[in-house]
Amino acid sequence: MPGFELFGEAEKKQVQDVLDNGVLMRYGFDGMRKGHWKTKTLEFALAQRMQTQYAHAVSSGTAALTVALASAGVGAGDEVIMPTFTFVASFESILALGAVPILVDVDDTLTLDPNAVERAITKNTKVIMPVHMCGSMADLDALKAICKTHDLLLLEDACQAIGGSYKGKPLGSIGDLGCFSFDFVKTITCGEGGALITDRLEFYENAHKYADHGHDHIGNDRGAETHPFLGYNFRISELNAAVGCAQVQRLDEFVHIQKNHYAILKEALHSIEGIAFRRVPEGGKENYSFLNFFLPTAELTKKAHGTLAEAGVDGCFYWYDNNWHYYRKWEHLIEKKSLGNLPEQVVKQLPEYSTADFSASDHWIGRTISCLIKLGWTESEVRQRADKMSEILRGITPER
């Protein structure tokens, strides 16, 4: 991670195809295309790889989440349960529809705690949205059971975990809907882009229309298409999709590289007293984009993170103090800062997060370091990194 590290001739060829025919838009201009439909090609390949019936590519991972929620009929006043540890796009996509993000604690998977989810359900709850942060997944069987009991939808935000799996099924394909990000720092990239996947025809039909101003996409005359409902513009360009056409074919290659690098680093750290690793649910396989581990206390973790950075070990994240990925620094959500008036339902239903008790999340995130796994490392570089990390962490963690 990320896929841009290994850009090559395949990506260049796909982009050159688009530049040669001059059609940068995914719809229309049939005669000029010379048979090149990059977005359609990407969608077909993605659906095959993710073992789903339908895939629809959009302009970003945030757009994918927004369109997925909209396609399922989520709107004003509906509540979507999401974790305290995620990227801000998760709650942005919910608020964009006038719906209400309900934050709940994470557990040692670093994703949704099913017990906390159960406690957060109200008459307004419509969706449970686990976020497979840093390459691994939630307890999906438990969350599916909760959804079944309460007649809720399960939307997997797999933006950081493409290539991972759970009990033999690709992450993203297990819920009613799944979403991916293909931005510049994801495992596979389009530069900017995203996609949603589903096995439900209704959601797919809603999604491709909603993401293109409500166009029904019936017939070959775009100007004659009707608009069955309101929509917006979340289209991906053919140039971005072209990059994705090459990268999606390399996903397994990238995951294999990440797995090898991950294994070397984990082996170097596993015997260090006081270090434990994130729990991966039984039957789950990470995409190995991050190595995530816990230290005994938040104080030691923060010290270790600083020492690693001072020693030149880059790409290690301490999420507890991160502006973008943990609830503690989401002042704009907590204080309801908006350029315009927020929908009445959001104002009325949004919990008072300034006084919320997320100490269970703090317990885990405060003791977590996540180390990015780069595709471009040589084996020698990985082993040198492993040795340096091991030396530093042994000097910080308590001895036996």
Active site residues: 186
| Contact by Cβ (8 Å): 311, 328 | no
Which contacts qualify for 7-15: CB closer than 8 Å, 24 or more apart? 10/246, 10/249, 10/250, 11/242, 11/243, 11/246, 11/247, 13/246, 14/38, 14/242, 14/243, 14/245, 14/246, 15/239, 15/242, 15/243
Quick one: residue 168, left, alpha or beta (phi over 0 = left, psi -120 to 50 = alpha)?
Answer: left
Which SS3 state, helix, strand or coil, does residue 49 take? helix
Host H or E run for residue 148? helix 140-150
Specify which residues 179 forms β-bridges with: 157, 196
Structure tokens at 302: 């923060």
Q: 């997320």: which residue's tokens?
A: 358
Structure tokens at 129: 């949205």
Amino acid at the residue 112: L
* 38-49 and 9-21 helices, crossing angle to 10°: 140
User: 75 exposed, middle or buried (CB, 10 Å; 0-12, 13-18, 19+)?
Assistant: middle
Specify which residues 155 forms β-bridges with: 177
Q: What is the DSSP letter of 368?
A: E
End-to-end CA distance of the chain, in Å?
35
User: Given strand 165-166, what is the order of strands in its sheet?
Assistant: 169-170, 165-166, 284-285
